[in-house]
Amino acid sequence: MTDSPIDLTDLFPRSTFDADGPAPRIVVLGTGYLGATHAVAMAQLGMEVVGVDTDPHKVEMLTAGKVPFYEPGLPELLTEQLATGRLRFTTDVAEAVGWGDVHFVCVGTPQSKTSHAADLRFVEAATTAIAQNLTHDALIVGKSTVPVGTGARLRTLVALAAPADVRAELVWNPEFLREGKAVQDTLHPDRIVLGGTTDDSEALLRRVYAGPIAEGSPVVVCDLPTAELVKVSANAFLATKISFINAISGVCEAAGADVKVLADALGHDVRIGRQFLDAGLGFGGGCLPKDIRALMHRANELGASGAAGLLQQVDEINMGQRSRVIELAIEACGGSVLNRRIGVLGAAFKPHTDDVRDSPALNVAAALHLRGAQVTVYDPQAGDTARSSFPTLGYATGVDEAVEGSDVVLVLTEWDEFVDADPARLATLAHQPAVIDARGKLDAGQWREAGWTFRGLGRAAA
Which residues does the annotation mark as catalytic?
287
Neighbours of 254 (CB within 10 A): 10
The residue type of 71 is E
What is the CA 266 to chain-centroid distance, rounded? 27
Neighbours of 413 (CB within 10 A): 33
User: Closest by alpha carbon to 398, among 343, 437, 339?
Assistant: 343
Cα–Cα distance measured from residue 290 to residue 274, given in angstroms and rounded to the nearest whole number: 25
> Could you give phi then psi for residue 192, rounded to 5 degrees?
-120, 115
Cα–Cα distance measured from residue 153 to residue 342, given in angstroms and rounded to the nearest whole number: 50
Neighbours of 261 (CB within 10 A): 12
Environment class of residue 319 by beta-carbon count within 10 Å: exposed (0-12), middle (13-18) or buried (19+)? middle
Helices 360-370, 305-332: axis angle to 10 degrees equals 50
Contacts 24+ apart (CB under 8 A), 52-58: 52/27, 52/28, 52/89, 52/90, 52/91, 52/92, 52/93, 52/96, 53/29, 53/89, 53/91, 54/91, 54/93, 55/31, 55/91, 56/2, 56/3, 56/91, 58/31
User: What does the H/E/C string look like for 380-399?
Assistant: CCCHHHHHHHCCCCEECCCH
User: Closest by alpha carbon to 144, among 168, 164, 169, 119?
Assistant: 119
Per-position b or e across 169-202, b if 16+ CB within 10 A of its CB:
bbbbbbbbbebbebbebbbebeebbbbbbeebbb
User: Closest by alpha carbon to 192, among 170, 218, 226, 214?
Assistant: 218
User: Closest by alpha carbon to 368, among 393, 348, 387, 395?
Assistant: 393
CB within 8 Å of 103: residues ≥ 6 apart: 27, 28, 29, 97, 130, 138, 139, 140, 141
| Whether 438 contacts 418, CB under 8 Å | no
3-state SS class at 138: strand
